[in-house]
Structure 1
Amino acid sequence: MEDRLAARLAELRAERGWSLDELADRSGISRSTLSRVERGEISPTASLLGKLCTVYERPMSRLLTEVEAEGAQVVRASAQSVWTDEDSGFVRRSVSPPHPALRAEVVEATLRPGADIRYDAPSVPGLEQHLWLLDGSLELTVDGEAHVLEPGDCLRFRLWGPTRFVCSGPAPARYLLVLVVP
């Protein structure tokens, strides 16, 4: 999957006719890092992938689905793709991946204690999200408003600005995220 992701990122840039320098200017990511990501020499972090998704105007889940095989109606646990960002302590399972005929998807995510992930802008402005915290505690800041969630809490919102996810407790934070493309 890492190789397919690298190839897809290079393809997205080429589709727009952008040079690495232009993509670096648009994303705020260094040209050398972009080059290494597109060649598959390094795996992108969640933050880096978030910046690229913003530039390419697509949710991260859509990008990851584009490098996976077409899904069936039943998505078996063994077939659900898992992506891990060791640097940030973020693990993402695509429970119900995007499908061309459907607008929603379901993601299970886990953040290790102390994890702090920031996204400067939404990949898709107005993206509807429903976050249901299953385990641990999570501090989620959406458009400057902080929310402290405990197990069973659900936060519903649309993305228009920056977000920040912080696992504030001693145990990992595990949550389900339902994304609905506008």
Structure 2
Amino acid sequence: MMDDASRNFDRSIGDRVRSLRARRGLTLTELAQRSGVSRAMISRIERADASPTAALLARICEALGETLSAFFADEDVPASALSRRAGQRLWRDPHTGYLRRSISPAGMGSRVDVVEVEFPPGARVAFPPRGESKVMTQHVWLFEGELQMTVGEMLHRLLPGDCLFMDLGDAFEFHNPGKTAARYAVILDQGH
């Protein structure tokens, strides 16, 4: 059974998806077509009957014209150039268990987002190619552990200190083949 904190968090994700969809004047069907996520799944997320995975939520955010960092930003918090660790938003992917921390200060209008990720041993998450993301790039900078990144057909093995630059329009996959969590930063450039 889902605990109250998880249920409340799922409810806030559902409310945010519904709010962003309404602001953009999109129906469930239109958002489903843009994101490649079924109308039924989006409806379940909006009702907090389902917890979206990282890949699924990324597709929905992209279709709404949002980054994951902007999606998780607290709109009620005034813009500030300083993002204190205690106030940074956390999200745990229900499928892989990876923990995502939004580092960038909210409301600054920057096209760059910085995210810290703790990726469990053995975890794997894949993102399909998305033409809409061709204008976006990211750096993946590994601090601890090991990480295998597949970008298109190319496999990259990252060790602590390594940094991989990639185009988000390509298919890509994160995999932690190690026995300990991988900790890394993602520096995302939205390109607009």
Q: TM-score range by the shorter chain?
A: 0.7 to 0.9
Q: Check the 8 A contact 1:142/1:159 in 2, yes or no.
A: no
Name the SS for the 2:102 alignment partner: strand
TM-superposed deviation, 1:30 = 2.8
Question: Does the C-alpha gap of structure 1 residues 152 and 44 become closer, same or farther in structure 2, counting only changes over 3 Å?
Answer: same
1:39 aligned residue: 47
TM-superposed deviation, 1:40 = 2.2
TM-superposed deviation, 1:16 = 4.1
1:11 aligned residue: 19
TM-superposed deviation, 1:49 = 0.1
Runs of 4+ in 1 over 4 A off after TM superposition: none
Opposite residue 60 of structure 2, the aligned amino acid is L
Q: Check the 8 A contact 2:116/2:184 in 1, yes or no.
A: yes
Report which of the two has the higher share of strand.
1
2:5 aligned residue: none
1:110 aligned residue: 118
After TM superposition, the structure 1 = structure 2 runs for residues 11-160 of structure 1, keeping only pairs within 5 Å, are 11-65=19-73, 69-122=77-130, 124-160=133-169
Question: Does the C-alpha gap of structure 1 residues 72 and 49 become closer, same or farther in structure 2, counting only changes over 3 Å?
Answer: same
**Count of equivalent residues:** 182
2:3 aligned residue: none
Q: Check the 8 A contact 1:119/1:163 in 2, yes or no.
A: yes
Q: Check the 8 A contact 2:144/2:159 in 1, yes or no.
A: yes
Q: Distance in 2 between matches of 1:96 and 1:151?
A: 22
Opposite residue 138 of structure 1, the aligned amino acid is L
Question: TM-score scaled by structure 2?
Answer: 0.83
Opposite residue 190 of structure 2, the aligned amino acid is V
Q: Could you list the runs of 5+ residues in structure 1 that have no partner in the other structure?
A: none
Pairing 1:166–2:175 present: yes
Greater displacement, 98-107 / 127-136:
98-107
Question: How high is the sequence identity, in percent, across the aligned residues?
Answer: 36
TM-superposed deviation, 1:149 = 0.3
Q: Distance in 1 between matches of 2:75 and 2:37?
A: 22
Q: Could you list the runs of 5+ residues in structure 2 that have no partner in the other structure?
A: 1-8
RMSD: 2.2
